[in-house]
Structure 1
Amino acid sequence: MFRGPSVPTVSITDVTEDAFILDVREDDEWAAGHAPEAMHVPMMQIPARIDEIPADRDVVVVCRVGGRSAQVVAFLQQNGLERTINLDGGMAHWAAAGRPMVSEDGGAPRVA
């Protein structure tokens, strides 16, 4: 079985409240619920917006369950952003752990 590049991961319990969170989900997923201080850059926009991602601090990359964010971490590291880390379990684990969430669509925050 093919396995992609190994990327560093962090568990939900090790994400600090002041962590820089980069959410790479699609617009509808973001609108349904996201971490309050997260920066939203959909995965397909990462190459064009790479300069918006800080290189001088740890960046925790998140998607729904961790697959897309792992791909983004690999891409960012290959492009010099070595302080990027994949959130193990993504927003599904974030929500299950009771971490704060907000929505943009007027509904209760949820993982879509």
Structure 2
Amino acid sequence: MRVPEVEVRDVPEDAYLLDVREQDEWVAGHAPGAVHIPMTEIQARVGEIATDRPIYVVCRVGGRSLQVAAWLNHLGHEAVNVGGGMQAWEYAKRPMVSETGLPPMVA
């Protein structure tokens, strides 16, 4: 199954952005308004994911998010992989926040 993919610049500002990175990665820096469910918890928490709109899935560089997007599409969701992940997000200077009190970064 081919998974749709978009570049970070094409992710709408009001997108449902699902960040599947681990907790330490999330804390260091993430997109404002993103939903955080680590890939390791996705099966147990799939019921928390929006079903009424496309899901843009992001990780650090795009590998984990590709797997999660493929799985969500298999379940009938409309999931899109964010190519390049949060590294590309940071490089493109898209908004980021941190939970550490320090400037946000991709860990």
How many Å apart are 1:6 and its aligned residue?
Answer: 2.7
Q: Alignment identity in percent?
A: 58
Large movers: runs of 4+ above 2 Å: none
Q: Structure 1 CA distance, aligned partners of 2:39 and 2:50?
A: 16
Measured on the aligned residues, the alpha-carbon RMSD in Å equals: 0.8
Q: Summarize the alignment of residues 14-25 of structure 1 with structure 2, pairs less than 5 Å apart.
A: 14-25=10-21
How many Å apart are 1:46 and its aligned residue?
Answer: 0.5
Aligned residue for 1:91? 86
Q: Structure 2 CA distance, aligned partners of 1:90 and 1:38?
A: 13
Give the TM-score normalised by the residue count of structure 2: 0.96
Aligned residues: 107
In structure 2, the gaps of 5 or more residues are none
1:45 and 2:46 matched: no
Q: Cα deviation per residue 1:25-63 (whole Å; 9 max; x = unaligned)?
A: 000000000001000000011101111111110110000
Aligned residue for 1:61? 57
In structure 1, the gaps of 5 or more residues are none
Give the TM-score normalised by the residue count of structure 1: 0.92
Q: Structure 2 CA distance, aligned partners of 1:72 and 1:14?
A: 19
Q: Structure 2 CA distance, aligned partners of 1:37 and 1:105?
A: 16
